[in-house]
Every structure is written in structure tokens, then in C-alpha cells.
Amino acid sequence: MRFLWPALLWLLGLLPLLVAGYCWLLARRRRQTLRLSSLALIRQAAGSNPAWRRHLPPALMALALAALLVGLARPTLVLTLPTPERTIILAMDVSGSMRAEDVKPTRLAAAQAAAKSFVDALPPEVRVGVISFAGTAAVVQAPTTSREDVIKAIDRFQLQRGTATGSGLILSLATLFPDDGIEIERATGQRLFPGAEIGASKPPPAPVPPGSYTSAAIIMLTDGQRTTGPDPLDAARMAADHGVRVYTVGVGTTQGEVIGFEGWSMRVRLDEETLKNISLLTHGEYFYAGTAEDLKQVYRSLSSRMVVERKETEITALFAGLGALLALLAAGLSLWWFARVL
């Protein structure tokens, strides 16, 4: 539990003073009672009302005051709640290095199988879009609730040269926020929708706290370093300004592997540092998948995260309600037993 106004908790220090005052009043009343002439009447009155009844209403009132004082400090808890309607963008690397066979049968085939299982496990109301990126980025499937269309889009991946990680992120953002004037053409070399104006003159929206936009998320899978296109960290900062979390998945080996493609060969390495920084900037998370089974586990974990979300929630109202309930109970018992309020 955390408190937004923790300085007000010092007010709880007043409760011991109230308890001391209550004990003083009891002692004073006891001294006055001893002056009465008939002790038999005192014993008779005491026998009709057990001692615990006399102390219970004040104790409940003290608890009520404690709950109200804690509520004044505005307590918060991190709760697991069902997610609101949301959109997920799968940004998938289709560069030539995805033909490597260190993840069986190939990196691309394993990624496709895991992604399709992930899509099938999502709630039906979640919209899914698919972006592929290599030397540039392309919208393979606009966000939709049709799982059949999304799976067909994943099956249509074609390997290409280059790895423009930044372009994949920027195009994913533009797909989520088509009216925000994101300059897709300059970043990716293509238009998002036929006839759409790219880089409109409207000013960009004001930045929001990273990770605060809970209606969408980007899941980016890649196996190599950026070779072309905009800096992925600049693209990650754009995502952070929009409040969108980016979950990055690294496939392959960090030491690299030599692969051949259309008559040329090169060593490809997984750039874990950049992927970790992307997720750090956007308040997402980085996952490493060295095998096909690892990749399936990553997507299972992501699927569960897309169904629920952990969110810090203020629970002042709970303490206020508890305090009011205890105060009413104390007053009610006092009226019932003693025909007076405390």
C-alpha cells in the first residue's frame, strides 16, 4: 500500500491521546461513583450491563476515526483488473536473418506459429493488427477482431533484406493513431493508407506519461540489429509520448550466426540492449526466446497480460466507507444499550 499524502498519517498520533482521555474520564467517573451512599445499587446497575458493553462503542468509534484518518492520506493499491477494450499491434521482423535454423524449424516459422497461438488465446473483443518490417515496414493487416484475417496475414510473411526496427515501431504507432499526423512516409518510405495525407500540418498531441495509454499495446519481435531506417530508440520515445507500452521479444542468439540469402552471407546478432531500452522507455518488458518453446512461453505470458492489467488504484473511498460504517455501528449500539450516543 502506498499513500499519496503520507504526511497526514501523523494525525494517527492523536488516537493515543483520545484513548488516554477516555481512560481519564472513566477514572473520574469511578471516583464520583464511590461517593454514592448505596454500593448495592452500583453493583446491581453494573450487573445489568456487562463491562464490555460500556467499552465496545468507544472502541468502535476509535477504529472509525483511525479508518477516516488513513483515508485522508489517500491510500493506493496495485490491483489486477480486467483490461478495457484494447488494440494490439504485432510488429514482426521478416528480414532475411529470420530464415536461420537455430530456432526450429526456422526463426520465422517458429515466430509465426507462436504468434498465431497468441492471437487465438486473446479475448474475442481485442482488435489485432499486424505490421511486418525488414528494409521498410508495411501494414499486413489493419486492426480487426477477425482472427481468421489476422492468421492469414501472419501466413503471408515474405522474407526481405534489411532490418528497419524503427520503421516498424513508427508504422505501428501510426496504425494506432491515424489522426495524429505521424510522418510515416518520411520514416518508412510509404503511405499507411492509399490517398492518405502523411505528415499533416496539425501539431502533435501533448505527450502523456509513458505506459499510461491502456487501450493499446505493441508487441515487437525481431532477431537482429537495425541496418536501415530511423533510430528505434527515437521511435520508442514517440511511443512513450503516446503512452503506449512496447513489449519486445528477441529471437536467436546474442553471439550471432552466419546466414546466406540470395547469394550473399552475413553474420546477424541479436541487439538485446536496444530491445531492452525500447521496453524500458515505454514501460513495457523485454523477453528473450532462444528456442521455439521459449517463444511459445513468451507469447503465453503476453496473452495473460493482455487479458488483465495491474493498475494502481486509490482506495480512499473504502476507508471512508469503513469509517462511516464503524461510526454508525458505535452510535447504534450505544443508543440500544444505554439510550444515548456514547
**pLDDT tens readout for residues 225-267:** 788 888 999 999 999 999 999 999 988 766 656 665 556 556 6
Mean pLDDT of 88-102: 87
Report the alpha-carbon distance of residue 120 to residue 151 in Å, rounded.
9
- For residues 12-29, give the mean pLDDT: 81
Checking if the pLDDT of 307 tops 70, the result is no
Give the pLDDT confidence score for residue 265 in this predicted structure: 59
**pLDDT the model gives residue 201:** 47
pLDDT band at 49 (very low <50, low <70, confident <90, very high): low
Which pLDDT does position 199 carry in this prediction? 43
* Average per-residue pLDDT for the chain: 80
CA-based nearest residue to 225, from 273, 173, 286, 283: 273
Total count of residues recorded for the chain: 342
Assess contact for 272 and 251: CB atoms under 8 A: no
Rounded Cα distance, 304 and 300, in Å? 6
List, in order, residues 6 or more apart from 1 with CB less than 8 Å away: 75, 76, 77
Which neighbouring-strand residues pair with 310? 80
Cβ–Cβ under 8 Å, residues 256 and 97: no
77 to each of 5, 81, 97, 308, 318, how far by Cα in Å? 14, 12, 45, 16, 11
At 181, list the grid cell: 499526423
Backbone angles phi, psi at 79, to 5 degrees: -110, 150
- pTM (2 decimals)? 0.64
Are residues 72 and 323 in contact, defined by beta-carbon separation less than 8 angstroms?
no
What's the pLDDT score for residue 200?
Answer: 46
State the sign of the Cα–Cα–Cα–Cα dihedral 222, 227, 230, 234.
positive
Identify any residues that bridge with 88 across adjacent strands, giving them in sequence order. Answer: 128, 217
Q: Which long-range contacts (CB under 8 A, 24 or more apart) does 335-338 make?
A: 337/49, 337/53, 337/57, 338/49
Read off the pLDDT of each residue in 270-292 and give the average, rounded to a whole number.
89
Place of cell 450505544: 334
193: confidence class by pLDDT, cuts 50, 70, 90: very low
Cis peptide bond prior to 143, omega within 30° of 0: no
pLDDT of residue 247: 93
* 212 CB-side CA count, 13 A: 8
**What is residue 168's predicted lDDT score, i.e. its pLDDT?**
93
Q: Do 275 and 286 touch, CB atoms closer than 8 A? A: yes
If one counts every other C-beta atom within 10 angstroms of the C-beta of residue 180, the result is: 15
> Could you give the dihedral angle defined by the CA atoms of residues 103, 108, 112 and 114, in that order, rounded to the nearest 10 degrees?
20
What does DSSP say about strands 137-144 and 216-222: parallel, antiparallel, or unpaired?
A: unpaired
Give me the pLDDT at residue 155, please. Answer: 94
